[in-house]
A and B are shown apart, each in its own frame.
Chain A
Amino acid sequence: QITLKESGPTLVKPTQTLTLTCTFSGFSLSATGVGVGWIRQPPGKALEWLALIFWDDDKRYSPSLKNRLTITKDTSENQVVLTMTNLDPVDTATYYCAHRPSISASGKAGFDYWGQGTLVTVSS
């Protein structure tokens, strides 16, 4: 059974750096085609895709946030870390990580398992 869980600070001050960790189980991020993504959702607003890391360490970022984001993986620890710099109150949101299956193996292009999300508030 695949599970994911986000962890990190709940309150961050403006201009600070946010580090979020996604700890997962039930799959390996070294398996061909597999990826883990980060998505956020400000209160009452739409989902926004942030970043995606693949089994081969290929990394993709939202063009609008690319300069502020870094995504890394620790395959042995089953973790993916997202770092976002220069936080602003508009970055207040629930942050989710999600599993991206191998499309060639499953035919599935979608995030099929999600963490519960973690609310991050940016405020002084």
Chain B
Amino acid sequence: DIQMTQSPSTLSASVGDRVAITCRASQSIGSWVAWYQQKPGKAPKLLIYMASSLEDGIPSRFSGSGSGTEFTLTISSLQPDDFATYHCQQWHSWTFGQGTKVEIK
């Protein structure tokens, strides 16, 4: 079973900051990673698929990178609407990371 280790668990940042969240897979999974944003009481929203492809309608300040075992979600300039929890998911056997809460500093 492939494990996804996500870090950090919490990230404190200010509007305008560049932030990065990392997921590490327990074995190589190519580019089979998706990233989601989730707000309290809501279902997750797909942001990135295949490690770096931006889902339709998602702002270009979100980007994804990586392959193999190391993956990163970057928000280039944090906006007020971006304070949320972010999840990675690997698409070999569909397990999720533990989530990263991005909170206001």
Interface positions of A (Cβ within 8 A of B) = 37, 39, 46-49, 52, 60, 62-64, 96, 98, 107-112, 114-117
**Taking the nearest CB of chain A, how far is it from the CB of B99, in angstroms?**
5
Not counting A47-B89, A111-B46, a sample of 18 additional A-B residue pairs whose C-beta atoms are within 8 angstroms of each other reads A37-B94, A39-B96, A46-B96, A46-B99, A47-B36, A47-B87, A47-B96, A60-B94, A62-B95, A108-B49, A108-B53, A109-B34, A110-B49, A110-B91, A111-B34, A111-B36, A111-B44, A112-B55
Is there an interface contact between B96 and A49, defined as CB atoms closer than 8 Å?
Answer: yes
| Bound complex: CA A39 to CA B50 (Å) | 20
DSSP majority for the A interface?
Answer: loop
Complex contacts, B94 vs chain A, CB 8 Å = 37, 49, 52, 60
Q: For the complex, is B1 an interface residue (Cβ under 8 Å from A)?
A: yes
Size of the chain B interface, CB-CB below 8 angstroms = 24
Chain B, range 14-66, C-beta contacts under 8 Å to A: 32, 34, 36, 38, 43-46, 48-50, 53, 55
The B interface, classified by DSSP as helix, strand, loop or mixed, is loop
List 6 A-B residue pairs with CB atoms under 8 Å apart, sorted by A's residue number: A46-B96, A47-B87, A64-B1, A109-B34, A114-B43, A114-B45
Question: Bound state CA distance, A107 and B98, in angstroms?
Answer: 25
Contact with A along B63-105 (1 / 0, CB 8 A): 0000000000000000000000001010101111111000000
Compute how far the CA of A49 lies from the CA of B94 in the bound complex, rounded to whole angstroms.
Answer: 6
**Inter-chain contact A108/B50, CB cutoff 8 Å:** yes
Query: Are the CB atoms of A47 and B44 closer together than 8 Å?
Result: yes
